[in-house]
Every structure is written in C-alpha cells, then in structure tokens.
Amino acid sequence: MLRRPLHILFACAAFAIGAAADAQRSGPLPAPEAPGAQRITSRISDTPAQPEGVFDRAPRAALLLKPASNQRSGAGELRLLRDYAFDGATIIAHDIDGRPLTAPLDHIGALICSPLRAVPPITAGDDADDPPGRRGVLELVDGQRLSGRLISDAGAEDEIAWRCDLRGAIAAPLDAVASLRFNQATAASSTGRHAVDELHLANGDTLFGTVVHFSDTVTVDTGGAELSLPADRIERIHFANAMLERSGPIAWLSGGGAAHIASITQSPDDDSRNALRLSLASGRRGDTTLGRLLAITDARTPLVPLSSLEMIEQTPREENEPWAIEKPRIETPDPWSPFALAGARDIILPGAGRLGYRLPERARLLTGVVAAPQRGWRWSDATVTIWIDRRPAARMRIDQSTPESEFIIPIAPGSRELLITLSPGAAGEAQAFAVLRTPMLTLDAK
C-alpha cells in the first residue's frame, strides 16, 4: 500500500499550547565574565522607557540577532536581557544595563529564556479512557512538534489521529510526519536508513518498512508482506519523509512543543502581562504564558545539545585517580520536563573533576541549569565553574540552601573550548556531585 501524496497538512498544525497561570520560580543569574559580542546598532533600536509593570513578570533571557549581511565575521549581535515583552512582530526589552531596545521578530536569531522560570506544561486533563503510556510528541516535516496523545482507532488509512494539548483533534497525513515518540522514549536520531521508516520497539528491536496505517494497531509494509503490531509496543518512529526547508521564527514551549509563528502579542486583559497570544504561520492562533515559552529561534538557527558533543577532556580532580563513584554520563530527562528543549539531555557529574568540549563553529550562547541530583540534593555540596577558552564565565555553588542555579553565558565569536569543573565544598569529596540539566548551545544563524 502506498501513502497518498502530501497535499493536505499544515493546517493541521493546530498547535498544542497551554494557557494557565505562570508559576514564578526564582534563581540567581550569574553575571558572565566572558567577552561580550560585537554590537550591531543598526539591528536594534533604542526605545523610550516602558511604563512601570510592563516587564515585572517576564523571565530573563538572552537575545541573539541574525548576522547582518554586511558583517564579515558572520556574527550576530548578542545581548543579555533583564526583561522583555512582545508587541506583535516586535520584541521590546531592557538589557542587563537597563538600556531599552526593540527588535523586529524576523531579525531574531534566538531568544533563549531563563530556564528556571519555565513551568511544566498543562495537559487537557487525565482522561481515564486514555492509558498513561500513550502521550507523546508528533513532529511534522516542517519542524513543528505537537505534544499530545494518540486518538484510539480514529485515524483514516493514511493518517495519524492526534489530540493536541488543549487544542483538540487533528489528522496528520503519514507523508507529513517526521517522527513520533511516546512517553519516556528519547528523541534519538534514526539509524540512517532513510529509504524506509524505522520503528523502535519497547523490547529494543528495530523494524524497517513503510507504515501504512497507525492507530491502536500499526500496519507496516516490510516489502511484500504486511505486519501488524499493537501501538503500545512502539517507543518511537522515524519516518522516511524528507524534511521541508522553512524560514521564520519558531516558538519552543515546555512539554516538547514547537510551532512556526508570525507574531506574538500580550493580552491587554492580563494585568501581569503574562498571557501570550501566538499567531501561527498556519493562520491559527494559540494561547500560552511567558513561563511556558522556552525560546524563539529562527528556523535556520542551530540549537546543539551539549550532550551531543564528544568530550575531549574527562578528568577527575586528581589526574591519576579514578572518578570517586563513576564516570560522567548522559541521562534523558523527563520528556515533559519544562527544562527540555530540542532534545537536550542531562549530564551527570559524579565527583570532583572537569569536562572539556570543543565548541562548534558559530557557537554564541550556552544555557542550562546546574542542580543537585534529585535523590541526593540534601547532601550535595559543590561548586561548578564554566570556562570559555580557559577564562571563567560562571561559577555556581550547589548545596542544600541552593539546590539549583541557572546559567546564561554569552560566547564570543571565534571561541574554541568549553571547560566545566566541579570542586568539592566544605563537606568534602564524598558530597561533591551535581547535574547539568539539559545544557544547550545556540549557534549563529546560517
């Protein structure tokens, strides 16, 4: 059986966006000591000071503009923001020095929001008829990601019936789907056999073929024969469909969602100015809050999880000694964690030592959270220092009184090395451990 040609979709991007009160969380924002980026004043306009209260609830962020066409370095302007607000196709903000600025939305390479201000997504209730393992993220070939759940036995022959969080049901043609992952499945990449779909099963097996039907039962054409299996045996699927080239801004939301947007406005009916109305590129609208907005990036701005880079240095504090407990390792966070962005994963630091990475070309920003491990937060006592080209950029103490701290670190154009060190606190080596929660590198737009 062949799938029908792609001619329907992107009206189905009725994006899943939560709308609820923003639970504020506080956390120190260390002032980076790394060199600042070159300023391109023609790309950001000074504006009159805004009325009191406009920015009171807005999270901190970093704003990276697209490189100007006349810049030989290919580097965009980067500013750390004290606060910001939206007015349609324009962002209005103050930088950390209190200077007001505005920038058109289509000039933004990336707006990366404060990780500790993110709040968990709200789902459309706990329907007892839907088993808990059926939630997931549906990624379309245009890059949009729809968090929600599979609708039981409701899809047509060549569609996936999907209920987006708080937005209702959509029908996604199989030819318009890039991937689908359920519940605790990681956002791992495919094996590279792009001629056919890849189904990764709960028992660790991988099935290759063409998905011709998807509901509670999945039918796969394996080349001459059709195989049917229950959907609850599948952890994730990578479809062989080609990704589409898209341009324009993408809004990343807590819960794994991402939507192409045309503009953002703040609700005039919300005194805190915390409610956001997104006008989607598909022509639809969605409501969310500042706390659920993790980032806005241009479609051509790469987001690179630090966990995806190879460690070029991995050394305990004493080079001739082993790690106190185990080597650093990568762990997948809760897929619905508000920290999760673009497939980023956690890096576990099990003892005093250091990790080194070679920075990708065009790297401009490092963001994430340093935290005590969830199980041992009462006993963790350590200092984590982040270095750019052997210069300290941020230093964070993790102990019982401060179990987590965020970092938003600018990276000067041309920087080459990233070093992360963990030093024991007053409690000594035995309690020197920490977690880097979903650290992410933002690169200049291509």
**Per-residue model confidence (pLDDT) at position 40:** 31
What are the residues whose beta carbons fall under 8 Å from the beta carbon of 204, sequence distance 6 or more? none
Question: Lowest mean pLDDT: which of 1-15, 62-76, 212-226, 425-439?
Answer: 1-15
**Per-residue model confidence (pLDDT) at position 389:** 95
**Per-residue model confidence (pLDDT) at position 145:** 84
**Per-residue model confidence (pLDDT) at position 377:** 56
Question: Lowest mean pLDDT: which of 36-45, 197-206, 227-236, 413-422?
Answer: 36-45
Looking at this protein, which amino acid is placed at residue 228? S
Q: What is the DSSP letter of 401?
A: S
**Per-residue model confidence (pLDDT) at position 41:** 32
How far is 123 from 164, CA to CA, in rounded Å? Answer: 9
47, pLDDT greater than 50: no
Is the CB of residue 68 less than 8 Å from the CB of residue 96?
Answer: no
Which CATH number goes with the domain that contains 419? Answer: 2.60.120.1060
> Average pLDDT in the 176-198 region?
70
Is the CB of residue 47 less than 8 Å from the CB of residue 288?
Answer: no
414, pLDDT greater than 80: yes
Residue 107 lies in a domain: no
**Per-residue model confidence (pLDDT) at position 432:** 85
Residue 120 lies in a domain: no
Residue 400 lies in a domain: yes
More confident residue, 309 or 40: 309
Helix, strand, coil shares, percent, the chain, to 5? 5, 45, 50
How far is 137 from 129, CA to CA, in rounded Å? Answer: 19
Strand segments (E) across 105-186 = 108-113, 135-140, 145-150, 159-164, 168-173, 177-182
Cα 82 to Cα 57, 107, 160, 250, distances in angstroms: 11, 19, 42, 22
What are 398-410's pLDDT values in tens digits? 988 888 888 999 9
Question: Lowest mean pLDDT: which of 42-51, 102-111, 310-319?
Answer: 42-51
19, pLDDT greater than 50: no
**Per-residue model confidence (pLDDT) at position 102:** 93
> Average pLDDT in the 411-437 region?
89
Question: Lowest mean pLDDT: which of 15-19, 281-285, 346-350, 388-392?
Answer: 15-19
Tokens, residue 221? 């054409």
Residue 180 lies in a domain: no
Tokens, residue 341? 């962005």
53, pLDDT greater than 50: no
**Per-residue model confidence (pLDDT) at position 269:** 65
Which contacts (CB < 8 Å, 24+ apart) does range 213-220 have? Answer: 213/155, 213/157, 213/158, 214/155, 214/159, 214/160, 214/174, 215/150, 215/151, 215/152, 215/153, 215/154, 215/155, 215/161, 216/150, 216/152, 216/153
Number of domains in the chain: 1
Residue 443: pLDDT band (50, 70, 90) is very high
Q: Which residues of 417-437 are buried (b: 16+ CB within 10 A; e: fewer)?
A: ebbbbbbbbeeebebbbbbbb
Looking at this protein, which amino acid is placed at residue 128? A
What are 117-154's pLDDT values in tens digits? 766 554 444 444 444 447 888 888 888 888 788 887 66
323, pLDDT greater than 90: no
**Per-residue model confidence (pLDDT) at position 48:** 34
Tokens, residue 143? 């890059």
Residue 389 lies in a domain: yes
Residue 310 lies in a domain: yes
Tokens, residue 164? 């987006």
Question: Lowest mean pLDDT: which of 12-21, 340-349, 373-382?
Answer: 12-21
Residue 316 lies in a domain: yes
Cα 115–chain centre separation: 10
Mean pLDDT of the chain, nearest integer: 75
How far is 216 from 237, CA to CA, in rounded Å? Answer: 15
Residue 33 lies in a domain: no
199, pLDDT greater than 90: yes
Looking at this protein, which amino acid is placed at residue 265? T
Residue 337: pLDDT band (50, 70, 90) is low
Share of the chain above pLDDT 90, in %: 28
Q: What is the CA radius of gyration of the chain?
A: 22
How far is 106 from 104, CA to CA, in rounded Å? Answer: 5
**Per-residue model confidence (pLDDT) at position 306:** 92
Share of the chain above pLDDT 70, in %: 70
Domain that holds residue 379: 303-443
Q: Which residues pair with 298 in a beta bridge?
A: 249
Q: Which residues pair with 227 in a beta bridge?
A: 220
Question: Lowest mean pLDDT: which of 21-35, 218-232, 286-300, 348-362?
Answer: 21-35
**Per-residue model confidence (pLDDT) at position 282:** 73
**Per-residue model confidence (pLDDT) at position 112:** 93
How far is 203 from 224, CA to CA, in rounded Å? Answer: 24
308, pLDDT greater than 80: yes
Among 165, 164, 230, smallest CA distance to 199 is for 230
